[in-house]
Each structure stands twice: as C-alpha cells, then as structure tokens.
Amino acid sequence: MISRRTRSRRAVGQNAAQPAAAAPRAAHSIRSRIDAAIRRRAHLLADFDCTACRVVNGAADDLPGLIIERFGPVLIAQLHAERLAMSESEARDACAYAADALRASSVYRKWYPPHRGTITPQQRAAMSAAEPWIGVAAAPNVTIVENGVRLVARPYDGLLAGVFLDQRDNRRRVAQRAAGRRVLNLFSYTCSFSAVAAVGGAAATTSVDVSRKALAWGRENFAANGLELTAHSFLGDDARDFVRRAGRRERRYDLVIVDPPTFARAAGAGRVWMLQRDLPHLLADVLAVCERGALVLLSANQRTLEPRWLERALRAAGAGRRVEAVERPELPADFAGDDDLSRSIWARID
C-alpha cells in the first residue's frame, strides 16, 4: 500500500536554484524513488494475467506531477505541469530509467496542463505521432491483458490511451457479475466494461457514447476477445436521450454502468454534460429502466466530489425503488493516494 504520508515530503527537484553539483544527487534521488515505486508494485508487474498497471503515481510515490503507466511493452508518462516538481529533462531521465528497469521498448509522453484547453498544437501533434519520447516506435495498437481479458490500447492516439487503468478492479467485478444479465454501459468510451461483461457471459450488452470513434474502438475490443457481436450493440447517442427513449420503450436492464465525465461537450449537438447538474436527472431515468434486482455501477472521478455524493444522488433518484449499496470499492493498490480519486459505488435496485 502506498503511504499518503509521502505526499507531504519535500517535492523532488526543488533544488533547481542550488549549485550544479546538486544535479547528479537529484537524479540519484529521483531514480531511487522510481525503484521504490516499482518495488511496491512487484506483484502486479510479475502477473502474466495483467500486463497494464500504474507504475508511478505522482505524489503518492514522492514524485509529484509524474505519472507512469505500463501498457504491455510501452510506458506512457503523464507530465502534470502544475504539480511537476522536477525539470522536463529530469522527468525524461526518470522515464528512461523506469523503461530500462521494466524492459519497456518505448515511452510516450502526455502533457496535462492545468486546463486542457491550453495544450499547444505542437503538444497535440506530438501526442498523435508514432515517434516516442524514448525508445523505438510502438505499433499503433497495443493489446494488453487484464484478468485474462484483452483490451486494445493506443499509445499515440492523443491524450488518452483507451483504457482507464483505475477501473481495473471494477472491470473484474463487472465480469464476475455479468453472467446472464442484459448490460447497459453509458458513457462507454472504448467499451471496455462491455467487453469484460461479454467475456463474463452477459446475455447482451448495449454501449452508448457520443463518440463514434470510441465505439469503433470498442468493437475492436470485442474482436480482440473473439466475441461475436450478435447480442452486442454500439450506439452513438447522448446517454440522456438514449435512457429516456429506452424508458418510453419499456426496455429493461439487469446491470447498468454509469461512468460519466465531469464535463463534456457532445460533439455536434451543441449540448454540454455537467456531472453535478446532469447526473441526478440521468439517474432517475436509469432507475426507470432497471429490472428488479438489477445492479448499478456508478463511478466518477471529479476531484471536488464529496465521497458520498454519488451514493446520495443514486438514493435520491430512487422514487419508490429500494436502492441498497452493495459495495463501495477502493481504488486498485497501484492508484492508492491519488488526488484525482475515482469514486464508485455498486448498488442493487429492487
């Protein structure tokens, strides 16, 4: 378990104003923190059934602003500008050191400025280029294995790689709970929850996202696991419109995943999604399409969200339905101490 105590320690790289002789010492200290982060995850890194995990978790590993994730042979480094407590060349050295230790073939760099709108066109282009920051170019699609399921990651398809690793344990829970159920996956992105549900024996899955590109990627995740698509649909729609229509048509689901963004613009439709404004209404419509005994996984990673807000929103949407909290999962151990804490709750609807 990563200690929260480490967050309050002196940030690495704060000695920029010190004499040049301090530089090798700083590099040594950063490398020793990378070693410690890798040691803490030794069990995960040795697991053949799980080829992706977070290797360095910023301040929780005493490396503020630096996140390194492993996707099979590739590392993806996130540089969070407002928290990064080392120079970019120190960050590069740290990543090269981690790549060497993990025998990774390449490292791709992602820039996270305080506001996404301030990513420069050059940074955007670099995040979509095959040329890595370190090492040799990877294939555009890198298939990772997670609890025996194959998922397609793309190391240079922009800011995101297609698989949110903090949801690994929830994907395992979905796979374990999906057998025979009709699964609805709202804000499905690359449909990884749907793919694991299908592998787990779901009777049918419906993935809904405004991004058709993400849904096409979702089909690739099904193909990667040799899944027939007959019982599985991929719908380019606003989640709010889809669920309202499904209610009118008296559709029913036995497992519903609701994992929305904090804020999003629905391309073309001129509408925005705002979690705290829109989720309560959406949940009322979601509960209306839940079969008696249905399971709901509700998740969000808005930093400012009060821990029980999701659960209260779900209960408030109940309107006569019994909402019983089944599980309030912790983040996977490789994410412990993350400020962007993703919060989730599993509930049973009667």
Residues that bind ligand SAM (CB under 6 A): 164, 167, 187-190, 192-193, 208-211, 214, 238-239, 259, 261, 264, 266, 273
The Cα–Cα gap between 72 and 122 comes to 27
129: its two tokens: 């280029």
CB of residue 317 vs ligand SAM: minimum separation in angstroms?
A: 17
Of the two residues 106 and 190, which places its CB atom closer to ligand SAM in the complex?
190
Residue placing its CB nearer to ligand SAM in the complex, 2 or 298: 298
DSSP string, 91-158: HHHHHHHHHHHHT-SEEEEEEE-SSGGG--HHHHHHTT-SS-SEESPPPS-EEEEETTEEEEE-TTSS
Q: In angstroms, what is the minimal distance from the CB of 209 to ligand SAM?
A: 4
- CA distances 310 to 92, 282, 314, 344, Å, are 38, 12, 6, 8
Q: What are the DSSP E strand ranges found in 222-262?
A: 232-236, 253-258
Q: How far is the CB of 217 from ligand SAM (least distance, A)?
A: 10
Report the residue number, 156 or 189, with the smaller CB distance to ligand SAM: 189
DSSP state of 176: H
Structure tokens at 137: 């170019």
Q: How far is the CB of 8 from ligand SAM (least distance, A)?
A: 30
Q: Minimal distance in Å, beta carbon 264 to ligand SAM? A: 3
Decide: 11 and 60 in contact? Cβ < 8 Å: no
Choose between 91 and 214: whose C-beta lies nearer to ligand SAM. Answer: 214
- Which positions ≥6 away from 17 have C-beta within 8 Å? none
Cβ distance to ligand SAM smaller for residue 270 or 320: 270
Separation CA 231–CA 253 (nearest Å): 14
CB of 186 to ligand SAM, least distance (A): 7
